[in-house]
Amino acid sequence: MSDPVSSIRNLGPAMEAACARAGIHSADTVRELGPDETYARLIQSGTQPHFIGYYVLVMGLQGRPWNDCKGKEKADLRKRFDAIKARVRPGPLAGIEKILNEIGVVERR
């Protein structure tokens, strides 16, 4: 049996649930895909892109605390994150974003 996504440092139940929606069910799969492809799949499956979530994933895969990302490294990760967002088509809205969209509180997609 493989380790759950939440066994990766910094990643908890919310990331594990988001990964499951994206068809990613183990820490080994996250490691094989790497942070960029994992995050792209999260966006495609409806997860709203958020830079902190991305760099928490990157730091976790390196075995580092989430808040260890600073300076040039953080700026470089921001460029990678922006590139992922630019190339990936978001999936359907989920959770609260879906509800807010349905009642017209946020711009409709």
pLDDT digits (tens, 9 = 90+) for 8-53: 999 999 999 999 999 999 999 999 999 999 999 999 998 989 999 9
- pTM attached to this predicted model: 0.81
Q: What is the CA radius of gyration of the chain?
A: 14
**Residue 44: both structure tokens together:** 């495609």
Average pLDDT, the chain: 89
Q: Assign residue 23 a region (left: φ > 0; alpha: ψ between -120 and 50; beta: otherwise).
A: left
SS3 57: helix
- The domains found in the chain, sorted by start residue, are 5-102 (1.10.150.20)
Cβ-proximal residues to 11 (8 Å cutoff; 6+ apart), any chain: 5, 56, 57, 60
